[in-house]
Amino acid sequence: MTYTLTTPLYYVNDKPHLGSAYTTLACDALARFQRLKGERVIFITGCDEHGLKIQRTAEQAGLTPQAHCDRVSAQYRELWQAWEISNDRFIRTTDPRHRQLVHQFFKRVEAAGDVVEGRQQGWYCVACEEFKDDPAGANTPNCGIHHRPLEWRDEINLFFRLSRYQQPIEELIRRPGFISPPGRQKEVENFVLQGLRDFSISRLNVPWGLPVPGHEPQTFYVWFDALLGYLTALLEPGDVPDLELLSQRGWPASVHVIGKDILRFHAVYWPAMLLSAGLPVPERVFGHGFLTREGQKMGKSLGNVLDPATLLERCGPDAVRWYLLRDIGFGDDGDFQQQRFTDLVNNDLANTIGNLLNRTSSMARRWFAEAVPPVSSALTDQHPLALASADATQRVLAALERLDFRAAAEAALQLAVAANGYLNEQAPWSRMKRQEGVEQVADDLYAVLEAARIVALLIAPLLPDLAERMLAQLAQAPLASGVPEQASSDAPASPPWSERLWWGGLVAGTPLPEPAPVMARLELEETL
């Protein structure tokens, strides 16, 4: 079995923003978790590159649409590489093989009797690439999302007969776990129970799009084309585009991770299209919330847009990943607050986790020949930190399965808090003053170091770089953090992640390297 997960295919009207980085970082954590579990993973991301909005944006910049798409998609690819995103595939909908697959898919849908010609009238938002049922404003209607004037459309298009799929879509959206988090399911149910209406799948006078075979000069509506990018991305380099191959290449998707604003397209339109073409529907659709900044919506006009490239340069990947995944419930809206960002990173990572490892390792080296201390009773699975580790492990694994990154981060952090508390309570610096206390100090330091090792393993999907630095400081084999190319290197194989989570993995007498801070404090004197 293959675990296939996807980000949205990002629309290349502009460079990447923090919202797209947020989705991609979350998917990266999920992909790393599944790989560490031993699953075969295909992690797909990429760019959606057709449509009227792209055409107009390119014209305004004095570029051809293709040149514009090449430029912006390269920015996405480069940013994900800088963030060390572990995607297996990067699909562009201008890929020639995508065009072939879209044509195959359309012919199946047309053969099923699900394509009809009709007249499309209504107010259209170019930014959303969508007709609006209830435009705001009576005389000069505006898009409620982009707050821009809508454009009137009146043309003959091709329609997909969505109305034929009312019953199967009702059954699908009520299937436990298909739509996550649970609160999103009700939103989709309300939409579906109003009655599904056929929707336009083509446009006239939009040359920057894929032509509809047999229906020129119609081009495919960008949403019909873009969703199929998930299928094209599964093709191996040598594959001839063929829908029949997809079941061998990782379809259906295990989860589509998307912003809540495009939930309807993924949970209603897309499954109906797949059913029409005789293909399996995705197993799960997860709609996450939006990000604001200091309580305000981010926008160029407000001058408060957070550039993910700048965040990476000034703060590093661990800090940003921790804040976004630990402070914001995945599925809820979140607010980026710079002071809280700084406080969480410093308190959680630099102080609680980093200082725990640094000071414990320093004591072990000073008192026990620069090595992991000898151990007696601390090895038992009934030791307080062994019990805390087992509980944290169970909670982290369960949370990551349900994409609850905040709960996973909190559980791992609480193990570090417990280890710090145990260390302070046992006060080995006092015991070492008495000769009879040396054996107890050895046990205590071993137990705390072992808890720190398990903390490193538990945060690996969320903070792969920090986890590897912690493991290196404990003289442990690297995990490769679930990255495909690293996992297939010539490095000696280490035990599977799941086996390394058991208590007692540190070997007494193992030389410990000289400690160095694994996480620097974040000092931000200026506004990001």
DSSP readout, 449-472? Answer: HHHHHHHHHHHTTT-HHHHHHHHH
pLDDT tens digit string along 150-187? Answer: 888 888 999 999 999 999 999 999 999 999 998 899 99
Containing 53, the helix (H) or strand (E) segment is helix 52-60
pLDDT at 155: 86
Where is average pLDDT lowest: 298-302, 415-419, 426-430? Answer: 298-302
> Which CB contacts under 8 angstroms, 24+ apart, belong to 413-417?
413/326, 413/348, 413/352, 413/353, 414/388, 415/388, 415/389, 415/451, 415/454, 415/455, 415/458, 416/352, 416/353, 416/356, 416/451, 416/452, 416/455, 417/352
Q: What is the mean pLDDT of residues 501-522?
A: 95
Location of structure tokens 């799009």? 209
Q: Which of 43, 40, 38, 46 is nearest to 10 (CA)?
A: 46
Give, in order, the Cα–Cα distances in Å from 385 to each of 139, 227, 422, 449.
67, 48, 8, 10
**Residue among 415, 426, 488 at smallest CA distance from 456:** 415
Q: What angle do CA 99, 270, 26 make, to 5 degrees?
A: 95
Confidence tier at 31 by pLDDT (50, 70, 90): very high
Q: Which amino acid is at 524?
A: L
DSSP per-residue codes, 300-348: GGGT-PPPHHHHHHHH-HHHHHHHHHHHS-BTB-EEE-HHHHHHHIIII
pLDDT band at 202 (very low <50, low <70, confident <90, very high): very high
| Structure token pair of residue 432 | 């070492």
Q: Which residues of 445-466 are buried (b: 16+ CB within 10 A; e: fewer)?
A: bbbbbbbbbbbbbbbbbbbbbb
Position with higher pLDDT, 110 vs 481: 110
pLDDT at 486: 44
36: nearest Cα among 474, 459, 490: 459
Q: Nearest Cα to 268, choosing from 171, 344, 401, 352?
A: 171
pLDDT band at 481 (very low <50, low <70, confident <90, very high): low
pLDDT at 378: 65
Mean pLDDT to the nearest integer, 8-28 = 94
Taking only the tens place, the pLDDT of each residue in 294-352 is: 888 877 666 677 899 999 999 999 999 999 999 999 999 999 999 999 999 999 999 99
Model pLDDT for residues 94-125, shown as the tens digit of each residue: 999 999 999 999 999 999 999 999 988 888 88
Please identify which residue in the block is written with the tokens 């032509």.
211
Read off the pLDDT of residues 244-279 as tens digits, 9 standing for 90 and up.
Answer: 999 999 999 999 999 999 999 999 999 999 999 999
- C-alpha 176/C-alpha 179 separation (Å) is 8
Mean pLDDT of 125-145: 72
481 vs 310, higher pLDDT = 310
pTM: 0.93
